[in-house]
Structure 1
């Protein structure tokens, strides 16, 4: 299990991560989402001991990363696919990783084949690898020690559709066998397919978290009308407060049937009335992060 407990990181006056807490349980994939600059990478670096927190703590299996004996046997990390020695071959990268962890280098061939690096690819220098090939090598590196936990930051970058489909199956199989996956990605539809739980962060703070299906189903009701003042007056009579969405609709914390009946009784014409979760993760993400920097988010 990954446990993040009130993590905070400040750089001068800037608070990059602000009191973030969540857990990732065995047998699950947790999608860690947020726009660029939200604090995802900083949080993941703190979990992996690469960035010291200003306050709070993070543990893997109840132990801080720095205190894990032979950490690669417990947790596999892929934070930057390009952070590999460009002059080594793919086979050399994995062989050195295996030796560092005290593992038999005979496993290298199988691990390379598992991520689709076969034929001449293992003998090529990493500098000649495409980004997609480096991602595959990074996944092999993360999994070479048979860890129980994977922490992956944008592992699908550079992968083609077939590669993304392959990675989805690989991570789903890992979790189904009891592994724990923390996955950061801008590919919202892929996260929606694979994730069991979601943690959404914006401006360094948790915006929402929990079971994916419950979050999507409990999103409320989206209402759109040609007369914004009328819908606000209606909500006031119902004792509700609506939240304007980025597309001009209003998010109402009520069942669609209740809103529809009240609108009909008041003579308020509605142009749209539907469960907010019907738009899936993409719509929920955009609504939660409205006003944040959305550069780089793939829909």
Structure 2
């Protein structure tokens, strides 16, 4: 269980994380979604005791992270896969971690096998690893202590499609076995397949959260026409909520209603579809469009 209550982080006059609250329950995967600079990484650093909160609190397994007896055995954390000694081999990185958290050397081989790093790859210096291999090594470190909770920041960066498919299966299996997974990403499709719940954040604030099915049902109708400006005006006159997005319009109404309004206005439709994953993505983009702050706090 991860519990976040009114968590806030300010740096002088800049608010990186602004009064966020949510829970991650055992047996579930929660996707923590937001554009670059939304505050995801800062929030995770506060959850894991690396950054002090300005106000609010977070607990993991009922306690602040710093109060856990042996955090490495209870919580698997991967916040920066590149933060590994480049001169050590992958196996050496894991052996040192095993000593620190008190697990037997045999667990190193098990962790390497879980993440699919071969004997030859484990013997290479980390400086010679690809980004995808570093991600796998970071996951091996997180899983080394057989934790109950995983907190992972952008774990699919650098993985090829096969690697992303593998990671989804790994994390889904971990949650199905009773584990708790908090998974951050700025890419919706990366986590949508495995996530049970979604928390969407923009400019440090939660803009939407709920179960995946709830948010999918809120995806609305996506429509694209030969004259989106005129269609937007017609929908607004009909008192239908509508948002303009790069791919067209997202409308809070059934496709039949949208189609009838377009017909009445003699506007030719090029695309008309209900919610689903695409609608969820458009909703996410519209919710975070005004709160994106690319290039500031992560």
- The normalised TM-score by structure 1 is 0.89
In the TM superposition, what are the counterparts of 1:75-86 in structure 2 within 5 Å?
A: 75-86=75-86
Are positions 1:208 and 2:208 aligned together? yes
Q: What residue number does 1:175 align with?
A: 175
Q: What residue number does 2:10 align with?
A: 10
Which segment drifts farther, 78-87 or 266-275? 266-275
User: How far off its partner does 1:209 sit?
Assistant: 0.8
User: How far off its partner does 1:259 sit?
Assistant: 3.9
User: How far off its partner does 1:270 sit?
Assistant: 5.3
User: How far apart in 2 are the matches of 1:7 and 1:259?
Assistant: 40
User: How far apart in 2 are the matches of 1:163 and 1:270?
Assistant: 42
SS at match of 1:213: helix
User: How far off its partner does 1:255 sit?
Assistant: 2.5
Kept after mapping to 2: 8 A contact 1:246/1:287 = no
Are positions 1:288 and 2:263 aligned together? no
Are positions 1:119 and 2:116 aligned together? no
User: How far apart in 2 are the matches of 1:232 and 1:71?
Assistant: 56
Q: What residue number does 1:165 align with?
A: 165
Are positions 1:228 and 2:229 aligned together? yes
Which segment drifts farther, 177-186 or 285-294? 285-294
SS at match of 1:194: coil
Kept after mapping to 2: 8 A contact 1:81/1:135 = yes
> Relative to 1, partners in 2 of residues 1:18 and 1:294: Cα closer, same or farther, differing over 3 Å?
closer
Q: How many residues align?
A: 293
Q: What residue number does 1:132 align with?
A: 132
User: How far off its partner does 1:165 sit?
Assistant: 1.7
User: How far apart in 2 are the matches of 1:18 and 1:151?
Assistant: 20
User: How far apart in 1 are the matches of 2:99 and 2:235?
Assistant: 68
User: How far apart in 2 are the matches of 1:243 and 1:193?
Assistant: 26
Unaligned 5+ segments in structure 1 are: none
SS at match of 2:210: strand
Kept after mapping to 2: 8 A contact 1:7/1:55 = yes
Kept after mapping to 1: 8 A contact 2:9/2:18 = yes
User: How far apart in 1 are the matches of 2:268 and 2:53?
Assistant: 49
User: How far apart in 2 are the matches of 1:127 and 1:230?
Assistant: 55
SS at match of 2:119: coil
User: How far apart in 1 are the matches of 2:137 and 2:126?
Assistant: 9
Root-mean-square deviation over aligned CA pairs: 2.3
Kept after mapping to 1: 8 A contact 2:7/2:53 = yes
Q: What residue number does 1:92 align with?
A: 92
User: How far apart in 2 are the matches of 1:105 and 1:227?
Assistant: 62
Unaligned 5+ segments in structure 2 are: none
User: How far apart in 2 are the matches of 1:230 and 1:154?
Assistant: 38
User: How far off its partner does 1:267 sit?
Assistant: 4.4
User: How far off its partner does 1:7 sit?
Assistant: 0.8
User: How far apart in 2 are the matches of 1:287 and 1:260?
Assistant: 22
User: How far apart in 1 are the matches of 2:141 and 2:231?
Assistant: 58
User: How far apart in 2 are the matches of 1:115 and 1:101?
Assistant: 19
User: How far apart in 1 are the matches of 2:55 and 2:236?
Assistant: 41
User: How far apart in 2 are the matches of 1:108 and 1:278?
Assistant: 38
Are positions 1:252 and 2:237 aligned together? no
User: How far apart in 2 are the matches of 1:227 and 1:133?
Assistant: 45
In the TM superposition, what are the counterparts of 1:64-75 in structure 2 within 5 Å?
A: 64-75=64-75
> Relative to 1, partners in 2 of residues 1:262 and 1:132: Cα closer, same or farther, differing over 3 Å?
closer
In the TM superposition, what are the counterparts of 1:47-58 in structure 2 within 5 Å?
A: 47-58=47-58
> Relative to 1, partners in 2 of residues 1:290 and 1:90: Cα closer, same or farther, differing over 3 Å?
same
Q: What residue number does 2:186 align with?
A: 186
User: How far off its partner does 1:185 sit?
Assistant: 2.0
